[in-house]
Amino acid sequence: MPTADAPGPRLIDGKAAAARITDEVARRAARLPVRPGLAVVIVGEDPASVVYVRMKSATAEALGFHSVQHTLPAETTQAELVALVAALNADPAVHGILVQLPLPAHLDPPATIAAIDPDKDVDGLTVANAGRLAVGDPRAIVPCTPLGCLALIEAERGADLSGLDAVVVGRSRLVGLPMALLLAKANATVTIAHSRTADVAALARRADILVAAAGRPRVIDGAAIKPGATVIDVGTNRVADASRASGSRLVGDVAFEEATAASAITPVPGGVGPMTIAMLMRNTLEAAERSVQPASTAS
Ligand code: NAP
């Protein structure tokens, strides 16, 4: 559920939407006098991170970007990591810097992120970019996942979400919080639910637009979905599945087979994930565009 012949919500095709975005990125990149440059830094060998970093670098290469990947040993010191970030900040061929999280436990993620030049912070994680997003400064580089979710939501509901109730489950710096800000900016009436919310399902049932980003399988069940809702499932959770050769499979935060009341829903995988990478490419392109023609600072 749902399939081509069984009724149910329409599946939002994140792969196709991502391909449209990367096509546009390629067209804009071809018009630039500089080659957009993306540097991805990974410390250690967290298996999921290795896969994500490989996909990001491969997409950048396929687009003809200048793509550099720095794979540092797990025992890298904070000083060495920050020195690399400083060198990338100073490198005119690099327009976007991404330090893959999580970092090994002895390293300091906030200090590492703070070392990134905000104008090269294509993950949108620096305090400067969070502040720019909060106040509507056009120089804001917005985190890729919520940016990708917003694009999917706009394709479903239009760019102006006036009169619509949106509920975001999750309040992280990377996903939930910027998602809520983007939805409010698009005129939705936004509620943020989190682990201390009394009744997530009761709030979710009011949502015309429901974004689940808790990282908990089945945090949203069928009864928590308003009829006709647009459901964006950000969660990526690995659960045991004896029927798979690997012994596990990836599921979202929404009980997908119960989501029959939704009008449209993103599958996991194949929904939000491809959009995240496409938006990373767009953020890198736009950083390169701004390096040629800086944006105004009007708010
Ligand atoms: P995170 O930093 O762990 O944040 C999770 C948020 O969910 C927190 O705000 C937490 O509340 C809230 N939460 C946890 N359990 C909850 C519950 N039972 N009910 C309501 N809220 C709950 O995670 P994240 O980085 O935002 O990522 C969220 C999920 O999205 C993860 O599964 C992650 O793997 C996935 N993700 C996917 C992509 C993609 O491209 N597909 C990209 C990024 C993230 P508190 O604040 O109270 O702790």
State whether the beta carbon of 273 lies less than 6 angstroms from ligand 1: yes
- The pLDDT assigned to 299 comes to 46
Ligand 1 centroid distance, CA of 234 (Å): 8
| Alpha-carbon gap, residue 109 to 10, rounded angstroms | 39
CATH number at residue 101: 3.40.50.10860
Does 264 lie in the same domain as 150? yes
Whether 250 is covered by a domain: the verdict is: yes
Q: Which of 15, 20, 31, 42 is nearest to 289 (CA)?
A: 31
Beta strand pairing status for 165-169 and 96-99?
Answer: unpaired
Q: CB neighbours of 125 closer than 8 A, spacing ≥ 6? A: 113, 116, 143, 173, 174
State whether the beta carbon of 29 lies less than 6 angstroms from ligand 1: no
| Residue whose CA lies nearest to ligand 1 atom number 39 | 273
Pocket test for ligand 1, best of 113, 236, 268 (most atoms within 8 A of CB): 236
pLDDT, block means (10 residues), the chain with 299 residues: 66 98 98 97 94 95 97 98 98 98 97 98 98 97 98 98 98 98 98 98 98 98 98 97 95 97 98 98 98 69
State whether the beta carbon of 195 lies less than 6 angstroms from ligand 1: yes
| Alpha-carbon gap, residue 289 to 29, rounded angstroms | 8
Whether 190 is covered by a domain: the verdict is: yes
Does 200 lie in the same domain as 159? yes
Q: CB neighbours of 104 closer than 8 A, spacing ≥ 6? A: 43, 44, 74, 76
- Mapped to the 3 state alphabet, what secondary structure does 17-76 carry? HHHHHHHHHHHHHHCCCCCCEEEEEEECCCHHHHHHHHHHHHHHHHCCCEEEEEEECCCC
Whether 14 is covered by a domain: the verdict is: no
Positive or negative: CA dihedral 56, 61, 63, 64 = positive
Q: Which residue is catalytic, options 56, 120, 121, 226?
A: 56
pLDDT digits (tens, 9 = 90+) for 108-120: 999 999 999 999 9
Ligand 1 centroid distance, CA of 296 (Å): 34
Ligand 1 atom nearest the C-alpha of 237 is 32
Does 151 lie in the same domain as 105? no
- The pLDDT assigned to 293 comes to 85
Does 161 lie in the same domain as 110? no
Does 161 lie in the same domain as 267? yes
Whether 133 is covered by a domain: the verdict is: no
Does 203 lie in the same domain as 147? yes
Whether 94 is covered by a domain: the verdict is: yes
What range does the domain containing 78 cover? 30-119
Q: Which residue is catalytic, options 123, 165, 208, 253?
A: 123
State whether the beta carbon of 148 lies less than 6 angstroms from ligand 1: no
Q: Does residue 100 have an active-site annotation?
A: yes
Burial category of 81 from C-beta neighbours within 10 Å (exposed 0-12, middle 13-18, buried 19 and up):
buried
| Alpha-carbon gap, residue 199 to 218, rounded angstroms | 14
Does 152 lie in the same domain as 105? no
Does 264 lie in the same domain as 168? yes
Where among 65, 85, 119 does a domain terminate? 119
Q: Does residue 123 have an active-site annotation?
A: yes
| Alpha-carbon gap, residue 65 to 270, rounded angstroms | 24
CATH number at residue 247: 3.40.50.720
| Alpha-carbon gap, residue 94 to 106, rounded angstroms | 27
The model's pTM is 0.95
Report how many domains make up the chain: 2
- The pLDDT assigned to 1 comes to 52
Whether 99 is covered by a domain: the verdict is: yes
Residue that has been written with the tokens 């009007």 in this structure? 298
Whether 283 is covered by a domain: the verdict is: no
Tokens of 185: 């900016």
Does 203 lie in the same domain as 167? yes
State whether the beta carbon of 169 lies less than 6 angstroms from ligand 1: yes
Whether 284 is covered by a domain: the verdict is: no
Ligand 1 centroid distance, CA of 192 (Å): 12
Q: Which of 150, 178, 177, 183 is nearest to 164 (CA)?
A: 183
The chain-wide mean pLDDT, for the chain, equals 95
Does 265 lie in the same domain as 220? yes
Q: Does residue 117 have an active-site annotation?
A: no
Where among 86, 119, 152 does a domain terminate? 119
Does 211 lie in the same domain as 160? yes
| Residue whose CA lies nearest to ligand 1 atom number 43 | 145
- The pLDDT assigned to 18 comes to 98
Q: CB neighbours of 288 closer than 8 A, spacing ≥ 6? A: 29, 32, 34, 35, 36, 37, 95, 96
Residues in the chain: 299
Does 171 lie in the same domain as 66? no
| Alpha-carbon gap, residue 257 to 2, rounded angstroms | 7
| Alpha-carbon gap, residue 95 to 35, rounded angstroms | 9
